[in-house]
Amino acid sequence: MLYTSFHRSSLLTQLQDLATYNCWAITRLTDWLKSKPAVLLEASAASSFPGIKATLLHIWEVEREWMGHLQQRPNGLQQGIDDDLTTVLNRLVEQAADFSKYVQSLTEEEVQEDCYCQLWFSETICRPRFEIIQHCLNHSTYHRGQVVTIGHQVGLKDAPMTDYMFYVLKVKEQASGSSKTETPANRKNTDSYGRNSFLAVNFFSKQ
């Protein structure tokens, strides 16, 4: 059984971590898709968007649009773009990397600042920057799930694991060397804010 201590965080560090995770998940997903026949990625399927390529294009368009709002330089949706599959895959990864880099550059004060947005489905709105970031990352996660589901419809049933906790335990902490593996018998008393709490995870320790 693996016990990993919780780490202190703020709203900004949580957003930065999620933006990094989003980039990792999109890269992992697109690397998998690049190994599959293009005809399957462009095949029609029943979903919010009619196929894997169309869904990937939507993720890219929306991340691009919201990043423009965050920077107060609206880009607008580019609906109807019909680039080749390789271009769509590469643009999606590049956009996720740009979005993550942008979030890493923000300060605690900047994530609280208001942003004015003119949306195609609403009048001009004013929302704090952190809400827009949360919305954008949640939107991408939602549609990545659809890509996997569409994959099952067209015969692609070996999608890679992109769960957030998998990223935390198998990628983030191992890469940083910050993971603390402990047992109940050797836990040390630590400060408040949850450092005396531990998350027990059986699934990943058996992988």
In tens, the pLDDT along 179-201 reads 444 444 443 433 333 332 333 33
7 annotated to a ligand binding site: no
For 187, which DSSP code?
-
58 annotated to a ligand binding site: yes
Cβ-in-10-Å burial (0-12, 13-18, 19+) of 26 comes to buried
The pLDDT of 62-66, averaged and rounded, is 91
Q: Are 68 and 58 in contact (CB under 8 A)?
A: no
**What span, in angstroms and rounded, lies between the C-alpha atoms of 49 and 52?**
8
**Which of 2-6, 46-50, 170-174, 194-198 has the least mean pLDDT?**
194-198
In tens, the pLDDT along 87-144 reads 999 999 999 999 999 999 999 999 999 998 887 677 788 999 999 999 999 999 999 9
Q: Are 132 and 18 in contact (CB under 8 A)?
A: no
Q: Are 97 and 23 in contact (CB under 8 A)?
A: yes
For 74, which DSSP code?
-
**What span, in angstroms and rounded, lies between the C-alpha atoms of 120 and 8?**
38
Q: What is the pLDDT of residue 158?
A: 96
CATH superfamily, domain 11-160, is: dinb family like domain (1.20.120.450)
